[in-house]
Amino acid sequence: MDHVRVSPLLRARYSPLRFDQGHELADEQLEALLEAARWAPSAGNSQPWAFHPRRRGEEGHATLVEHLAGSSRLWAPDASALVVNLARREVDESGMPYSEFADYDLGQAVAHMTLQAQAMDLACRQFRAFDLDGLEEALGVRPGWHILTMTAVGVAAAAAPDGRERRSIVDLRTAGRSDA
Ligand SMILES: Cc1cc2nc3c(=O)[nH]c(=O)nc-3n(C[C@H](O)[C@H](O)[C@H](O)COP(=O)(O)O)c2cc1C
């Protein structure tokens, strides 16, 4: 990223695998994260997202930790908060689609939250390593809503790993087309 002028926020962002277990997320910080997600764009302004945040030590946090997979259990409980990310794909029990773009829009809202965290000197690691069905049941997720991921938010306790790789810009411009 060195030779192009990408925003410092984007340049600095990475997903830590260690969090400072002493850091506590203030009410205003949590509110700012949700506010950032709130203002994400979405198809037809459908805003098909919901977030279930629990800070470390808060009631309900243990339920989230209980459902972590072995891999995420190694680091996610130390984060200042875990946020469950949900998308509304269908209208209640009707089976009718609520939004074709529900997953897309949720991802965008989570990206907003992630960059807001970065702007507040916090870091996020989004992850899928948890018992999704068990957590949906434990949280009583409503019909039409689906958990997709969780986000661990906190202060990074390890620097970005060396050797992070990305596909090239050329590849981004040509992949996905048979004529390229
Ligand atoms: C939808 C999604 C699911 C992910 N699932 C996991 C996961 O289960 N476990 C994990 O350690 N990281 C997970 N990650 C983090 C990615 O591995 C990480 O974003 C990727 O390696 C790029 O690294 P960076 O975010 O530091 O640039 C996930 C990220 C996304 C966006």
20 Cα: distance to centroid of ligand 1 (angstroms) = 19
CB atoms under 10 Å from CB of 14, counted, come to 16
pTM score above 0.95: yes
* 128-164 confidence digits (pLDDT tens): 999 999 999 999 999 999 999 999 999 999 999 999 9
Residue 81 domain-assigned? yes
Q: Which residue's C-alpha comes closest to atom 13 of ligand 1? A: 127
Residue 131 domain-assigned? yes
Q: How many domains does the chain have?
A: 1
* 14-73 confidence digits (pLDDT tens): 999 999 999 999 999 999 999 999 999 999 999 999 999 999 999 999 999 999 999 999
Answer whether 14 contacts ligand 1 (Cβ < 6 A).
Answer: yes
CATH number at residue 52: 3.40.109.10
Residue 72 domain-assigned? yes
Residue 37 domain-assigned? yes
Q: How far is CA 49 from CA 27, 52, 58, 81, 163, in A?
A: 21, 10, 23, 18, 33
Answer whether 34 contacts ligand 1 (Cβ < 6 A).
Answer: no
Q: Which domain holds residue 134?
A: 14-157
Q: What is the dihedral of CA 156, 84, 43, 12, to 10 degrees?
A: 0
Could you tell me the pLDDT band of residue 4, with boundaries at 50, 70 and 90? confident
> Tokens 């907003």 — which residue?
112
Say how many CA atoms lie within 13 Å of 130 toward its Cβ.
32
Q: Which residue's C-alpha comes closest to atom 21 of ligand 1? A: 15
